Structure 1
Amino acid sequence: MRRLVLAEKFSAARRLAQILSKGKTETVRAEGFSYFQFSRAGDHVIIFPLRGHVVEIDYPAEAHDWKDTDLDVLIDMEPIRHESPPALHDTLRRLAEGTDEVVLATDYDREGELIGVEALETLRGQRPDLPARRARFSAMSPSEVRLAFETLTEPDWALAQAAAARQRIDLAWGAVLTRFLTLECASDRQILSAGRVQTPTLGLVAEREREREDFVPRSFWNVRLVCGTPPFDATAVGGPFWDLGAAQAVVALSGLGGETATVERITRSEHREPPPAPFNTTSLLAKASREGISASRGMLAAQDLYVHGEISYPRTDNTVYPSSLPVHEILGRLRESAYGPYAERLLAQPSLEPSRGPIQTTDHPPVHPTAAPAKRRDSVRSRMYDLVARRFLATLSPASVTAVTEVRLTVGDSAFLAIGRKILDPGWREILPEPETMTELPSLSEGEAVPIQEIRVVEDRTKSPPLHSQGSLLLA
């Protein structure tokens, strides 16, 4: 059998060829395009790299005049399709003549399915009866890719149609609203652009800016008590105070209580914080943004890590690992890396209970490592892999346990509260440390009198909401 495998881009095609041929592939260059060919189980296989979408849609030429085109007509106008680039489609037509079966091996999501179907339609334009199958995988690891090609399925036509509908909506929204806004509100030299994602995002940014412009800061006060040996802080019960006089009255009443504060009550408890949920695309990019990596650079690095078989497919809404995910196998692969000692400890546990997020889908698992990290990698890819690997290990870890101590003190007729925290068991925080101030209190007993070092009023002001970051917009 002669199989033509369609990959989404050159790097993905090269990875698939290396895995399926076990490194025995030949690179062919013809008519300006490179592809890979090899023999596998008696079949002649060609893996052809596409270049993302190979079909563009636009309105016909008669609709290109903004002023003379009725927008009510434009919104219902049928777009026309353009092959892009035409030479690639010519190569596909030539390859169709010697092909017995087509296998779509593009990314398994809406856009990937449509990209594969776009190329398939060109092939079937030359060979209408050409059969097509689908290879579905969520990681470019050797085991998952080989399994996908051993268990081929049918193309998901509904998924491709969903992506095509998204294209059509984007075109109509952008073209109609951009023309309307520009013609009604702008000059001949200025275009007011609108878009399905762009416009709501701009609305969020503008709304936050208005909130900041309208914000009026307001002063408030707390009463701070410093006492004990070693000294610790307590804050007046009832604060913060929106009236300075009320805060000063607390200080005045405290002055009647002498030079010591009395420990009235001590309450101890334990706080268990469960591990974070697995990463989906949004939470991964939001975390990357907080680490100083832009969403575009983070996504580019994640996609590259996926193509090289180091992490799973990075475009997913899912935050629940499927039961079929080979957790122990993945931990075994991480043993040969800097994460090895922690992975070994997890493997030694009698059972592993991964954390779960709020969104469960069946297309792809949450983003997770699929292999040990490459030894050489640029800074952004290295940091993105580290985020994914540490989050994966954290999701398999026990809860973090913190001891919380609340001490109520009295000074005269005024009451103060001191809160101390101490980590008893770091749990998942060991592999995923997050900045958190831990304030330990000295050993105290109820009824004890502790010396007062200072009681004073501390002023502060309310703060305006912060500007949106890429991370906050992703989570909005």
Structure 2
Amino acid sequence: MKTVIAEKPSVAREIAALLGADTKNDGFFSGNGYFVTWAFGHLVGLGMPSDYGISGFSKDLLPILPNPFLLTERKIRVENDWVADKNAVRQLKVIEKLFQKSSGIIVATDAGREGELIFRYLYEFLGCSKPFQRLWISSLTEKAIKKGFENLVSGFEFDGLYFAARARSRADWLVGINASQALSVAAGDGIYSLGRVQTPTLALICKRFLEHQNFVVKPFFQIELLHNKQFISFKSISKNKWESKRELQQARNSIERNGSVEVFSVETKIVTEQPPLLFDLTGLQKEANKLLNLSADETLKIAQLLYEKQFITYPRTGSRYIPGDVWEDIPKLVGGLMVRDDCREVTSRLKLGRLNKRIVNDLRVTDHHGLLITEKIPSALSAKEAAVYDLITFRLLEAVSDACIKQQTKVGLQVLHYEFGLNATKIIEPGWRAVKGSFEEVDSDLMELELPELKEGDVLRIKSGSILEKNTKPPLLYTEAFLLSAMEHAGRDIDEKEERSALKDVGIGTPATRASIIETLFSRSYILRDKKSLVPTEKGLQVYQLVRDFKIADIAMTAQWEIALHKIENGELEAALFEKEMEDYTTLITNELLKLKFDREELPDLTCPKCKSSSLLIRDKLVKCTGSSCDWIQLRMVCGVQLSVSDIESLVNSGKTSLITGLKSKSGKKFSAYIVLDAEGKSRFEFVKKHI
């Protein structure tokens, strides 16, 4: 017998059916020479500080540098303690018995860094020494699974992947646990966290927010002229920008008195715009955030569900290409979309034997190829699942379509000593741009502007002139899509040329982890959403101000760690050297953080408005009664607005806050209201009375 271990029950079920292991047991399937079982993600992980006999934190106990690291069953938080997850313990016992009964193991966890770590930690924790092979597939279709079982690979060929995953896991433990506890000790109160990728990401958001806040908006003016030739009207805009209204008016008067402009340059060129490549995970998350307003985490979860339902290929990919041997499947995938009404017209225009092969590049495929749909066409999906599936579907159709051919015209005009200009685009062959229909929906810059025939020396009469009043714009706040791009391309902003060149394709985090990093910042109350923008909270800004000059907030160093992990994976660097460097850095950052001095807001002593006897504990996320028999609690985040300490003090002492603006209803509509307490200590809104 052989044991096949999948990452989730749903995947195990598919594999079991294909292998003929159709007898269902408690925690596994069996039959036809196979046991097929599953994990629930990470059943085993690195132990918590309490597993090393450390129950409290002080300066004397930090840093914690485990040697060796301990592995434990997955733990869950119960009140203020971590206890073993009963479901994890139960399933581990099932897996252990199956391993003991088997001659070998087939690893079918997700084919990536985390999937490898899930199995290897479990294998080590159980003390197993049975030989194992790796099922390495990019989709869960029957065809892919069969092909994978026909080409099983020795598990030890993935040692590099495991060593990199383990090094990442240990580095995150060392830096995360020690830096977080050191900052919390320095603060003296409250819960704080720092992390290898988390803190540079917070720094990106805070730095951009402060640049936006401190930006001084300055008005400026331009002049727009209306022309007409050959019964065609068109406009030109001044290249000059005026800050003074007086100088602007003088220029406008002079231009209008002159009455005409002369064409001094006409540049026309044919531009070939190649279709986009396939989505990698980060690309899909960015597009879903921009078009569907889905968070990166939501998109990943939806993509994972679509993968497990066999509708798309493996989502946690960092590549946008496919290898040559996958190309033979592309015409079938495209042809299969003929059954969809919204794809039939596009598909019928494509010549299946002459599809654009730009996405084929064996050298640019990493562990997994770019995101594809499978031959299994879904018939019923939730609205969000369907929307994400369609993004992947239409991106495939775009990627294999012809290039878009455009004619771009740039015209330079002059009146007196003032220059004006206009740009126009004419679509000659729509190519891939026609996949989604309207060019206006796809790209407003592609809206066609009809121009008469213009040549150098032409003199055009000015029909009228108008003033355009504009303002300089501050740096844009990060949206999730924008932040994902910044994380992906973080190395581009590094000053040192050699480092920038080395890091340009690395960034911070990985496609599979960036979503969870952003969610961690939300859960720590470091950031919140303002419409689609990500903005730091007071707590987030406080942490940034404290650590921004430390290496833990430095994107360059974090990106260098990512490079080191890639080298470990490829066998170019010993994991032990990287882990020693992490220990040295952990010691340095811990000692630096312990020396920090917090400027903390003085918290008032408040008495519970419900029991009238116990004091209140004010935390970042809530305020609660300390009395053992009283359950009074007040959340500080109310309809998207964080209640300040003065708001809390006013609410408890006088039963009513000052008017709070910027509150947001479930429908997204903003409103203002007071928060008031009733006789039983329950809070409610009181709205401003409108006088008729």
Is this a same-fold pair by TM over 0.5?
yes
Residue identity in the other structure for 1:94: K
- Mean Cα deviation higher: 401-410 or 293-302: 401-410
Change in CA separation of 1:208 and 1:265 when aligned onto 2, cut-off 3 Å? closer
Per the alignment, residue 89 of structure 1 pairs with: 92
The answer as to 2:469 corresponding to 1:459 is: yes
**Count of residues in correspondence between the two structures:** 457
Amino acid at match of 2:115: G
Equivalent residue number for residue 56 of structure 2: 65
Secondary structure class of the residue paired with 2:40: coil
RMSD after superposition:
2.5
Distance 2:277 2:296 in 1: 20
The answer to whether the 8 A contact 2:356-2:399 is kept is no
What's the offset of the Cα at 1:76? 4.7
User: Which whole-Å deviations, capped at 9, do the CAs of 1:84-124 have from their partners, x for residues lacking one?
Assistant: 32221211222234322210011111110111223334565
1:203 match: 203
Written as runs of structure 1 = structure 2, the 5 A alignment for 1:141-180 is 141-155=141-155, 156-180=158-182
Unaligned runs of 5+ in 1: none
Unaligned runs of 5+ in 2: 75-87, 487-692
The worse-fitting range, judged by mean Cα deviation, of 320-329 and 4-13 is: 320-329
Of stretches 94-103 and 307-316 in structure 1, the one that deviates more from structure 2 is 94-103
- CA distance in 2 between counterparts of 1:28 and 1:349 reads 45
1:41-90 C-alpha deviation (Å, 9 max, x unpaired): xxx22221210111121233422320165324x13553321123222121
SS of equivalent to 2:220: strand
Q: Equivalent residue for 1:282?
A: 282
2:481 maps to a residue whose letter is: G
For residues 141-176 of structure 1, give each alpha carbon's deviation from its aligned partner in whole angstroms, at most 9, with x where no partner exists.
221110110111111222122212211111111111
1:317-336 mapped onto 2 (5 Å cutoff): 317-325=318-326, 326-336=329-339
Aligned residue runs from structure 1 range 113-132, under 5 A = 113-121=116-124, 125=128, 128=129, 130-132=130-132
Distance of aligned partners of 1:341 and 1:456 in 2 relative to their CA distance in 1, 3 Å threshold: closer
Tell me, in whole angstroms, the C-alpha distance in 2 between the residues paired with 1:397 and 1:7. 37
1:443 aligns with 2:452: yes
* Letter aligned with residue 109 of structure 2: T
Name the residue aligned to 1:11.
10
SS of the residue corresponding to residue 440 of structure 1 reads: coil
Structure 2 residue corresponding to 1:384, chosen from 384, 388, 393: 388
SS in 1 for 2:195: coil
Instruction: Tell me, in whole angstroms, the C-alpha distance in 1 between the residues paired with 2:362 and 2:459.
Output: 49
Conserved 8 A contact 2:2-2:104: yes
The residue that corresponds to 2:44 in the other structure is: 55
Aligned to 2:422: 418
Aligned to 1:109: 112
Is contact 1:262-1:448 (8 Å) kept? Answer: yes
What's 2:572 paired with?
none
Closer, same or farther: CA 333–122 of 1 in aligned 2, 3 Å? farther
Residues 266/159 of structure 1: CA separation in 2 closer, same or farther (3 Å cut): closer
68, 72, 79: which one aligns with 1:78: 68
1:2-32 per-position Cα deviation (integer Å, ceiling 9, x unaligned): 12110000111122233444xxx535232xx
CA contact (8 A) 2:322 2:362 kept: no
Instruction: Note the C-alpha offset of 1:403.
Output: 1.9
1:474 aligned residue: 484
Match of 2:29 among 8, 30, 36: 36
Q: State the partner residue of 1:297.
A: 298
Partner of 2:373: 369
Post-superposition offset of 1:329: 3.2
**Matched position secondary structure for 1:14:** helix
Query: Are the equivalent residues in 2 in contact too, given 1:281–1:317 (CA < 8 A)?
Result: yes
The structure-2 alpha-carbon separation of the partners of 1:335 and 1:37, relative to structure 1 and needing over 3 Å to count, comes to farther
Question: Identity of aligned pairs, percent?
Answer: 27
Does the Cα contact within 8 Å between 2:256 and 2:462 map onto a contact in 1? Answer: no
TM-score (norm 1): 0.88
1:46 is aligned to 35
Aligned counterparts of 1:241 and 1:420: Cα–Cα separation in 2: 25
1:325-352, Cα deviation, whole Å (9 max, x unpaired)? 1322332333333434433433445353
In 2 relative to 1, CA 340–456 (structure 1 residues): closer, same or farther, beyond 3 Å?
closer
- Which whole-Å CA distance do the structure 1 matches of 2:125 and 2:345 have between them? 52
For 2:451 and 2:99, the matched residues in 1 are separated by: 79
Q: Is the 8 A contact 2:240 2:418 kept in 1?
A: no
